Chain A
Amino acid sequence: MRGVNRFFSRWQNWVGIFLLLMYAILALTAPVLSPQDPKKPGPFLVKGQGKERLPQPPSMTNLLGTLPGQVDVFHTIVWGSSNALTFSFTVVFFTSLFGVTYGAVAGYMGGWVNNVLMRIADAFLAFPVIAGVVFFQQLLIMTITTQGGYLWNGMLLGLEDSAGEPILLQILFNLINPLMLSLILFSWMPYSRMINAVVITLKNTEFIQAARALGATPSSVIFHHLIPNSISPAIVLAARDIGNVVLFQATLTFIHIGGNSPWGELLFMGRNWVIGPYGNLFKYWWVFVPATLAVLLFGIAWNIIGDGLSDAISPHEI
């Protein structure tokens, strides 16, 4: 309870909460704020005929201006926040769930089992996420080329008219994109290491022994006693991870190695109007500033929340 009071008494945390509420409202009211084109649903909306090549400045019809090809910036920002929230929550939910369970179970087993399991986690630490992303993307390409489809810049093309039987990987990749899969597979280790260290020390304390003496099953000890008592650092890590996941998604989208962040794609489409030969940041500010702010503030908001939580949970460490 003292931690909760401490969390709400810092003004920085209110900035974070305010920013998060803003993103949540944008995401929830997206269909009202900027309805999608029923013919071409998706986070990108082409205004007018799409013939005008120059980016158009903000006006009443397009609130934040348009990119070349008349892609509406406001529409993408709004739908991008919904994408960012769902993507990051999914990734962090599965990562932390798996990481926490893995670390706790390994710690509870103890002995050589714990050693082997944690060595496997260490092996995963050596795997760069980007290698995982391209690897899964490659599996996807290999699977769909035999079905008559092909992948271009991370987009699935030409699969509709294939008649082949869908196979395991194809079903998997329809549910979950390669970036998400790779982020889940290669970022659970910090949770495990964190929980594992605490569980090993907690395991021999009196209240756990009491629970065991009362006949609690191992799973009940792990999920009712060990995890609730060691989860707090993992929550801090999860809060920071949500921001980092979105930053990483936007980065990979920008360099077109997997990922489908609308914000990153927006900056990719507009980059030549900032750094290209005729680009001018001050003249065409709306191709750069809104998307940048969207990504930046998302990261900042979650970092503030992470710092605030970490301060609330263990005030002495700061």
Chain B
Amino acid sequence: MPPFLQFLVRRFLVIPLTLLVITMLLYGGVMLTPVEARAQIYMPNTNAKLTEDQIAKLMGNIIERYHLHEPYLVQYSYWVGTFFDGTWGYSPSLNEQVLPALLTRTPATAELTLFSLLFIIIPFGLYAGIIAGWHRGYRDSIFQSVAFFVTSIPPFILALAFLVIFYINLGWFAPERLGIQYSYEVTKDTFASPTGMLLVDSLINGRYDIFIDTLRHLAMPALTLSLYHWATLARITRSAIITQRRKEYIISAQARGIPAGRVLWRHVFRNILVPSLTSVGLSAASLITGVYVVEIIYNLNGVSEIITTAMFSGIPDAPAILGFAVYSVLVVLILMFLLDVIQAVVDPRIHEDMIKP
């Protein structure tokens, strides 16, 4: 097997292993709750008044039927079984199976995450870091203070400020996913939605007005989400650039009379790409946390809707929350894997560096 493929396979095997560790821990946590609480989830939702005896009998039946009295590993394997039959369990607060509920809400979340990552965080983060680290001087000071300020603002205050400025006073951007005049239109049959992401779908359908409107609604959430991670990535890029500037190959390139811009973008850029992208990969979990927070603040009806529904209903709903946790971990792992692949593609040295740590 070529080393590149070997590296990818090794990285990919991390996903099931991590999932195994995390699901076992999560289910262990659920097993600490009293058995009646876990049986509560399967209780029928009726208005009929039941006597204490009937409830106790019903509870006993449920415990028997769903194997809630069995030892930990047996129950764990039953739960893992639901991952393979495509339901991920039944959620009483959402009143549907967990996996379909997660999948219908995924496009909104994916749109926000990918848009922020690919069009704001990575390009602008790399660019700002490179400019600040290469030129130093006044550009560096400006960048340092902006980055410092941005990392000290919590997302909800940023969101409130954006809403006051851009929504209420200027009226440029708006919260939620789509304006009221389009939100019905995109659910109609004439509007093909193969991906569910409105930015892509509107282009497929040739509806540029919807595309513009989606951007108008995506601007504030994407900015709120991106600023912190933009600053982090740019800082790491900046310090990587500063380390690279002292290397001999730069002096030799300059001595050969290669123009500075060419040295920067041809030679240095490739060398700093790997440490920078590693930083994005490592903060993938906090990026996903940020996505959910931003979704809730701007009312985007993404995956985070599952937790708000489950928490505010007050009904014990372990399947939904467990499903949500496993889903989030899976998303983070896939994101980390994708960034690893990008790294492996941009840096051929990866074979030696990463295969033998």
Contacts and interface: CB of A to CB of B under 8 A. Distances in A.
A248 interface: yes
A interface: dominant SS: helix
A243 interface: yes
B296 interface: yes
B291 to A, nearest CB: 9
A102 to B, nearest CB: 15
* Closest CB pairs A-B (n = 3): A142-B37, A299-B152, A247-B154
B250 interface: no
A85 B317 CA distance: 33
A11 interface: no
The majority secondary structure among interface residues of chain B is helix
Contacts of B153: 247, 296, 299
Contacts of A288: 160
Contacts of B239: 317
26 contacts: A122-B14, A126-B332, A126-B336, A128-B292, A128-B332, A130-B292, A130-B307, A131-B324, A135-B26, A139-B29, A142-B34, A142-B38, A142-B40, A143-B34, A152-B314, A168-B32, A169-B32, A250-B154, A255-B156, A257-B296, A257-B307, A271-B160, A274-B164, A279-B168, A296-B157, A317-B239
Contacts of A252: 293
A219 interface: no
A139 B33 contact: yes
Nearest to A271: B160
Interface string B42-82: 00000000000000000000000000000000000000000
Interface stretch (B123-131, B251-259, B280-288): B280-288
Interface in B1-35: 14, 17-18, 21-22, 26, 29-30, 32-34
A33 interface: no
A232 to B, nearest CB: 17
A295 B154 contact: yes
Contacts of B284: 126
Size bin of chain B's contact surface: 35 or more
Given A139-B29, A264-B156, A251 B322 contact: no
A210 to B, nearest CB: 29
A49 B234 CA distance: 52
Interface of B: 14, 17-18, 21-22, 26, 29-30, 32-34, 36-38, 40, 148-149, 151-157, 160, 163-164, 167-168, 239, 282, 284-286, 288-289, 292-293, 296-297, 307-308, 310-312, 314, 316-318, 321-322, 324-325, 328-329, 332-333, 336
Interface of A: 119-120, 122-123, 125-132, 134-139, 141-143, 145-146, 150-153, 167-169, 186, 243, 247-248, 250-252, 254-257, 264, 267, 271, 274-275, 279, 281, 288, 292, 295-296, 299-300, 303, 307, 317
Contact of A150 (B164, B308, B314): B314
Contacts of A168: 32
Contacts of B152: 243, 247, 296, 299-300, 303
A122 B153 CA distance: 27
A261 to B, nearest CB: 10
Contact of A251 (B26, B293, B316, B317): B293
B286 to A, nearest CB: 7
A255 B297 contact: yes
B168 A142 contact: no
B289 A130 contact: yes
